[in-house]
Amino acid sequence: MSDTLKTLFVSYIFYYPVVMSLVWILGGLCFYWRRERHTPQTPPPLSRYPLVSVFIPAHNEEDCIAEAVQSIFSQHYPKLEVIVINDASTDRTQEILDGLMKDYPDLRVLHLQKNMGKAHGLNLALAISHGEIIVTLDADSMLDEHAVEWAVWHFNTFPRVGAVTGNPRVRNRTTLLAKIQTAEYSSVIGLIKRAQRLMGKVMTVSGVVAAWRRSAVVHAGLWDTKAITDDIEMTWRLETKFWDVRYETNMLCWMLVPESLSGLWKQRCHWAQGGVEVMRRHYDVWKDWRQRRIWPIYVDYFLGTCWAYAFTIYLCAWLVMALCQLFTAGPAVLADLLGTSPFWGWNGAIVAVICLLQLFTSLCIDSRYEPGLWRLMIWVAWYPLAYWAFNSFATVAATPRGLFRNMDKAATWASPDRGLRS
C-alpha cells in the first residue's frame, strides 16, 4: 500500500466516527431545540381515542412476561386490547399466561405450537385484532404509564404517520456491561434517532417498543417472515412507501439488556446481519429520485460497515506487528509500539474527546427522563476503548451472513440474553 493510500486509510478509521459524532450531536441538539425542549412530560389532550391493540411476542419468557403484561394494564389509555403471542414456549410461559388471564379478563393469548418466527406471530395477531393502532412490545419490557397516549397523539395529529418509535431505557444495571449499554442507548441510539428524524428518515424503529398504524402495516405487506430483523425491514417498507416514521422521546419503555459477552455478541451480530439484509433488499432506492431522503441513511450504514472492516483490519495488523517486534526486540520497543497504537496519540485523543462530548450532550438532553444518568459518567471511558472494537468485530462477523443468507427462508427466533436481575 502506498503512503498516500495508507494515510487515507488511517484517516478514514479515525475521522469517520469523529465526523458522524458531530453530525449526531448537532442533529440531536437541533431536534431538542425545535421539538423537545418545550414539550411537557405529560401527554397532550387527545382528540379521539381509537382502539389500540398491544402485541407481546414471547418465546420462553417465564421470568419477565408478567411484568410486561402488568405494565400494559397500568396504562392510562382507556381503549386497549392485549394479545400475547406465546410462540412455542417450552418453559412455564403458558402456565403464567393462563394465570394472568384470570387476573386480567381482557388479556388474550395466542398459543402457537411451532416457532415460525416473530414476524409470523405478529401477522397472526394482526389478523385476530381490531385496533386501528398496533403497539408491539418485547416481553422483557415495561411501558411507562403514559406511553400509549404519546403514540396515539402522533397518529391522531398527523395522518401520514405510519409508525412511532419509542425511547427505550435500560433497567438492569448490575454489571459494567449493562452500565455501558445504558450510556450507549442515551449517547448513541438516542442522538442518532433524533438526528435521523431531522434528516427525514429513521433507520429503524426500536423493536423493543413501537406503535404502528394498521393501514400502514397492511399497505407495506405485513411483517416480513423472511427478514431476520422484522423491525428494521418494516421501517424501510413504510418509508419507501412514503409513510412517516417518528421518534417520540416521551414514549418511554424500560427494558433488559444482555449482561454477558456471549449474549451481547449474539444481539449485535443479529442487528448487524439484519441491517445488511435490509441494505441488500432495498438497494433499488437508488433508482427512484423520490427516495432521495433515505439515501443519506443508506450511505451512513454502508460507510459504517466499511469502517468496521477497516478498523478491524488495522487493529489486527497492528497487533501482529507489535507481537512480532516484541518477540524479536523485547520490551524495549514497547514505547515505540504504543506510539503507533490505534488507541494512542492525537488521533485517539480527538476520538475520545468527541465521544465524551457526545455523551455529555446526550446526558444533558436525556436527564429530563432519567435524572440519575450523570452517575454513568465514570463508566464511559470503557465505551470508546473496548465497546467500539466489540461492535466492529460483530459487524465483520455478521456481514457475510447478511449478504449470502437465503432470503427465501423463514426466520425463526429465540429470546435473547435478558441479563442479570436481583
**Picking from 9-23, 163-177, 264-278, 337-351, which range would have the lowest pLDDT averaged per residue?**
337-351
307 backbone dihedrals φ, ψ, rounded to 5°: -60, -40
For residue 17, how many other CB atoms are within 10 A of its CB? 20
**Would you state the pLDDT for residue 422?**
44
User: Of 34-43, 201-210, 372-381, where does the model show the most confidence?
Assistant: 201-210
**Percent of the chain residues topping a pLDDT of 90:** 38
**Picking from 125-139, 228-242, 271-285, 342-356, which range would have the lowest pLDDT averaged per residue?**
342-356
Across residues 356-381, what is the average pLDDT? 75
**Would you state the pLDDT for residue 328?**
72
Across residues 109-135, what is the average pLDDT? 91
Q: Is the pLDDT of residue 346 over 80?
A: no
Outline where DSSP puts E strands in 256-296.
none
247's enclosing H/E stretch is strand 244-255
**Percent of the chain residues topping a pLDDT of 70:** 88
**Would you state the pLDDT for residue 338?**
58
41-260: which CATH topology?
Spore Coat Polysaccharide Biosynthesis Protein SpsA; Chain A (3.90.550)
**Would you state the pLDDT for residue 129?**
94
Q: How far apart are CA 107 and CA 413, in angstroms?
A: 24
If pLDDT is split at 50, 70 and 90, which confidence band does 48 have?
very high
Q: Kindly list the domain boundaries of the chain, sorted by start residue.
A: 41-260
**Would you state the pLDDT for residue 330?**
62
- 377 vs 220, more confident: 220
**Would you state the pLDDT for residue 122?**
94
Q: Is the pLDDT of residue 379 over 80?
A: no
Q: How far apart are CA 184 and CA 251, in angstroms?
A: 18
If pLDDT is split at 50, 70 and 90, which confidence band does 381 have?
low
Q: Is the Cβ–Cβ distance between 270 and 229 less than 8 Å? A: yes
281's enclosing H/E stretch is helix 261-281
**Picking from 71-80, 178-187, 319-328, which range would have the lowest pLDDT averaged per residue?**
319-328
